[in-house]
Structure 1
Amino acid sequence: MTRIRSRFTSRSTALEVVEGIDLTGRRAVVTGASSGIGVETARALASAGAQVTLAVRDPRAGERVAADIAGTSGGPAPDVARLDLADLASVDAFAGAWAGPLHVLVANAGVMDTPFGRTAQGWETQLGTNHLGHFALTTGLSGSLAEAGDARVVVVSSSGHAASPVVFDDLFFERRPYQPGLAYGQSKTANVLFAVEASRRWAGEGVTANALMPGGIWTPLQRHWPAEQRAAAEEQARRAESAGLFHMKTPAQGAATSVFLATSPLVAGVGGRYFEDCQEAEVVERLDGIHGVVPHALDPDAARRLWDVSERLVTAARSTA
């Protein structure tokens, strides 16, 4: 299988990726679109003519972003809808209110390194929000994705996936000590596995899904880090940049790979893969810094198992609501 390559680089922006692409008549949903790379993902899709819905926890923040995008993109003004991925009732309300085809779903929202907590359904916060919330949303919208005929699901993962496979015997840290980094890594592996299995199940309906690493970006995602952890990360980034090994991205650069997967002709009909810097990543046993994807994130057997487990969890939660 040939790895997909493009002319874009780690310094390309989301707007550069959509230059010359016409999304008029296509509808897109971007979760977590009130801050960080979600804003720039939505801005680029709108600038190419898509009708974008900002799916956000805080509609007032979403309205401010929508007004900014409407004033800068030259495209249609985005819609705003409330979505709390940590609450299945909110997810189901969003999916239930959607009517008509959905051409692009960008599963962008997420939390990172949170203290131990639980979602409204009692699931560990990071897996519950980053994976199970998006699983329920995407499966809830699967009919609209199929209706589009050539829909793309874009799942924002992370190099953090290398920290942990999905630990099926203890998904919610009920029998092992909670470690925020391991919980985040498990959730980001789950994101990739979801893309693998969604593509296998839905490719026949014209729906594909891919996962991506956006790069190193300073955004509100790091808000749970202690001050010393943030300072150490900033120093590490400075040293890597000085050595020419790495550079921190702007949100517009961080959104580029999401927009590439949502729009590029190079990935039409392609699914179940992991990308970085607008290129398909190399499968490696150990990451080179933040680059590459480890085998446990692409394991088709784990992807099938995770889908089945996720389906059971969501179904059980709905039955007790």
Structure 2
Amino acid sequence: MGITTAFDARSTALEVVEGVDLTGRTAVVTGAASGIGVETARALAAAGATVTVAARSVEAAERTVEDIRSTTGNPYVQAARLDLTDLDSVRAFVDAWSGPLHLLVNNAGVMDTPETTTAYGWELQFATNHLGHMALTLGLHDALAAAGDARVVVVSSSGHGSSPVVFDDLFFERRAYDPGLAYGQSKTANVLFAVELTRRWAADGITANALMPGGIWTGLQKHWDPQVIEELSVTAASIMKTPEQGAATSVLLAASPELAGVGGRYFEDCHEAEVVDEIQDGIHGVRAYALDPEAAERLWDVSLALLEKAGWDIRG
């Protein structure tokens, strides 16, 4: 039996932090200017954390900061630019950081994008969802270690069920590009990253967990067929969540005292997911390959080599 809590699929992020005091703790939420990122940052701020809203658009981040400050009364919320596809942007963010970092929520992501490669030759979804976040996390290692009990939260998806990490063709150079498979691979990489980070960094007081936020209508589906969205809005209405509900599991992993010291796991609906042979209802369960320690170690090594080749110089 995995870890369960008093919360469920309908719990909101603010309900999860009720009674939790994060005063004096620092948090970074990537992709925090839209979707569940906003509500994740809002809940952490409501609990008293000093929160950095990181996003590609500083203007959007600043609007979010003003919104969160006004709704929570917490003045310690600030905006920062972060483009995960640009290692210079990641470097600038890391270099600007000072002091310990208690909570890092790797929330930003893209989904089902047309075939695109970054300046480094990396497929866009793998580059954004995994490699950019890995570079950021590696760069912030010392700040996380300085916290003494830091948590890294990695937003994955049930979409991981469509593909393991295909090490022999990460960037679809030898197979036809499929946006769904590319997304699934990147989301599997998110889970494997949490597994290996915990193995490597637990001795430094740093743990990581991955999660499926649930089905939420956000800008993430902008590349979907409008007819598919319309149909799912009817057929899947009973299992869809609001952004406030979608942020709940991220916030649980970041803030709940019950998750202290827990790492290398995959959660959904505020509890640890069951390992399954096939994702249930398109939403529930985690595939065994996403938790495989050998694949996790291999992914870390392969990813680090890619980052170093691109000029990233911090070893993890």
- The TM tier, using the shorter chain, reads over 0.9
Q: Hey, what's the Cα distance between the residues in 1 that align with 2:233 and 2:22?
A: 37
Matched with 1:94 is 93
8 Å CA contact 2:154–2:191 kept in 1: the answer is yes
TM-score by length of 2: 0.97
Q: Determine which of 270, 276, 285 is the counterpart of 1:278.
A: 270
Matched with 1:131 is 130
Matched with 1:184 is 183
Correspondence 1:102-141 to 2 at 5 A: 102-141=101-140
Percent identical among aligned pairs is: 68
Matched with 1:307 is 300
Are residue 316 (structure 1) and residue 309 (structure 2) matched? yes
SS at match of 2:27: strand
How far off its partner does 1:122 sit? Answer: 1.7
Q: Hey, what's the Cα distance between the residues in 2 that align with 1:103 and 1:77?
A: 15
CA RMSD between the two structures: 1.1
Matched with 2:228 is 229
Matched with 1:209 is 208
8 Å CA contact 1:43–1:69 kept in 2: the answer is yes
Task: Map Cα deviations across residues 23-42 of structure 1 (whole Å, 9 max, x no partner).
Answer: 00000000000000000000
The 3 A distance-change label for structure 1 pair 319 and 292 is: closer
8 Å CA contact 1:4–1:266 kept in 2: the answer is no
Deviates further, 282-291 or 311-320: 311-320
The 3 A distance-change label for structure 1 pair 45 and 129 is: same
Are residue 150 (structure 1) and residue 143 (structure 2) matched? no
Are residue 260 (structure 1) and residue 252 (structure 2) matched? yes
The 3 A distance-change label for structure 1 pair 263 and 39 is: same
8 Å CA contact 1:67–1:77 kept in 2: the answer is no
Deviates further, 285-294 or 267-276: 285-294
SS at match of 1:28: strand
Q: Hey, what's the Cα distance between the residues in 2 that align with 1:76 and 1:190?
A: 35
Gaps in structure 1 of 5+ consecutive residues: 242-246
Q: How many residues align?
A: 312
SS at match of 1:79: strand
Are residue 43 (structure 1) and residue 35 (structure 2) matched? no
Q: Hey, what's the Cα distance between the residues in 1 that align with 2:231 and 2:169?
A: 31
Are residue 296 (structure 1) and residue 289 (structure 2) matched? yes
Matched with 2:173 is 174
8 Å CA contact 2:49–2:76 kept in 1: the answer is no
Matched with 1:244 is none
Gaps in structure 2 of 5+ consecutive residues: none
8 Å CA contact 1:88–1:121 kept in 2: the answer is no
How far off its partner does 1:210 sit? Answer: 0.1
Task: Map Cα deviations across residues 27-77 of structure 1 (whole Å, 9 max, x no partner).
Answer: 000000000000000000000000000110000011101000000012234
Deviates further, 167-176 or 286-295: 286-295
Q: Which amino acid aligns with 1:216?
A: G
Are residue 59 (structure 1) and residue 76 (structure 2) matched? no
8 Å CA contact 1:33–1:62 kept in 2: the answer is yes
How far off its partner does 1:232 sit? Answer: 3.2
Task: Map Cα deviations across residues 245-294 of structure 1 (whole Å, 9 max, x no partner).
Answer: xx210000000000000011111001000000110001111111111101
How far off its partner does 1:78 sit? Answer: 1.1
How far off its partner does 1:119 sit? Answer: 1.8
Q: Which amino acid aligns with 1:67?
A: E
Q: Hey, what's the Cα distance between the residues in 1 that align with 2:16 and 2:139?
A: 29
Deviates further, 23-32 or 226-235: 226-235
Q: Hey, what's the Cα distance between the residues in 2 that align with 1:38 and 1:187?
A: 18
Are residue 85 (structure 1) and residue 84 (structure 2) matched? yes
Q: Which amino acid aligns with 2:33?
A: S
Q: Hey, what's the Cα distance between the residues in 1 that align with 2:212 and 2:125?
A: 17
How far off its partner does 1:319 sit? Answer: 6.8
SS at match of 1:123: coil
TM-score by length of 1: 0.95
How far off its partner does 1:166 sit? Answer: 0.1
Q: Hey, what's the Cα distance between the residues in 2 that align with 1:29 and 1:283?
A: 29
SS at match of 1:153: strand
8 Å CA contact 1:23–1:45 kept in 2: the answer is yes
How far off its partner does 1:88 sit? Answer: 1.1
Q: Hey, what's the Cα distance between the residues in 1 that align with 2:106 and 2:211?
A: 10
